[in-house]
């Protein structure tokens, strides 16, 4: 555990807080975000034009391997901490990922995301929009905490939240994730107002 503490201290001292809206501008430039699930996907993620890459299935044993190629290609690596094998969801885990070279955290938990922002990491809040109440709950939570991005799942229904979101929280990036069938659907979603989409389909990653 002392290793985690030292990582957290070094991360906090080395980084400074990014500007509101910075992540939104980053993903708007290349709006198809690769969502990497295995080491076999790394070469194609490296070749993609997107500056941002999601790691959805990293672990303590694979993180360095994943980061080596991605960071060498100047990618901003955002890790899903909820799916990370070997780390708990706490401040020390966030500090460890920061010191390892990650640029951001994906989570459904605002306490973890708050810790990420305090350590100058991008905070991407994953939100499942399964019914009208889940959408209302998302909007209520934004009164207390504003992440750098909302990843809205499933992507085909994500545009429904945009009018109310843009009215009050314009710096927050909107990313649609899940159930994106092809390039035409990805393009349609972006034309409806999403800043970006994330997809685990490597066939779509070279489109920027």
For 103-114, what is the mean pLDDT? 96
Whether residue 90 has pLDDT greater than 50: yes
Confidence of residue 120 (pLDDT cuts 50, 70, 90): very high
Q: How many CA atoms lie within 13 A of 170 on its CB side?
A: 1
Backbone angles phi, psi at 197, to 5 degrees: -130, 150
The CATH class of 2-204 is alpha beta
**198 closest CA partner among 80, 74, 61, 71:** 80
Residue 60's SS3 state is: coil
**159 closest CA partner among 122, 125, 140, 186:** 186
pLDDT at site 43? 95
Per-residue pLDDT of 10-49, as tens digits, reads: 444 345 668 889 999 999 999 999 999 999 999 999 999 9
Q: Where are the domains of the chain?
A: 2-204
Whether residue 57 has pLDDT greater than 80: yes
Per-residue pLDDT of 124-163, as tens digits, reads: 999 999 888 998 999 999 999 999 999 999 999 999 889 9
pLDDT at site 164? 85
Q: Report how far Cα 22 is from the mean position of its chain's Cα atoms.
A: 13
Whether residue 194 has pLDDT greater than 90: yes
Q: 123 or 3: which carries more pLDDT confidence? A: 123
């Amino acid at each position: 555990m002392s290793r985690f503490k030292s990582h957290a201290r070094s991360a906090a001292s080395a980084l400074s807080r990014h500007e509101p809206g910075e992540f939104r501008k980053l993903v708007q430039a290349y709006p198809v975000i690769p969502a990497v699930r295995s080491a076999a996907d790394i070469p194609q993620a490296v070749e993609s034009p997107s500056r941002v890459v999601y790691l959805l299935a990293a672990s303590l044993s694979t993180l360095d391997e994943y980061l080596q190629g991605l960071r060498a290609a100047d990618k901003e690596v955002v890790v899903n901490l909820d799916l990370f094998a070997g780390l708990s969801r706490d401040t020390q885990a966030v500090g460890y990922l920061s010191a390892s070279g990650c640029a951001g955290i994906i989570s459904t938990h605002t306490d973890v995301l708050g810790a990420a922002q305090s350590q100058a990491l991008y905070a991407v809040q994953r939100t499942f929009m399964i019914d009208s109440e889940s959408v209302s709950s998302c909007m209520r939570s934004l009164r207390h905490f504003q992440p750098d991005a909302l990843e809205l799942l499933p992507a085909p229904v994500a545009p429904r939240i945009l009018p109310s979101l843009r009215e009050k929280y314009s710096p927050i990036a909107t990313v649609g994730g899940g159930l994106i069938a092809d390039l035409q659907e990805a393009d349609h979603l972006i034309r409806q107002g999403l800043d970006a989409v994330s997809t685990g389909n490597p066939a779509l990653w070279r489109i920027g």
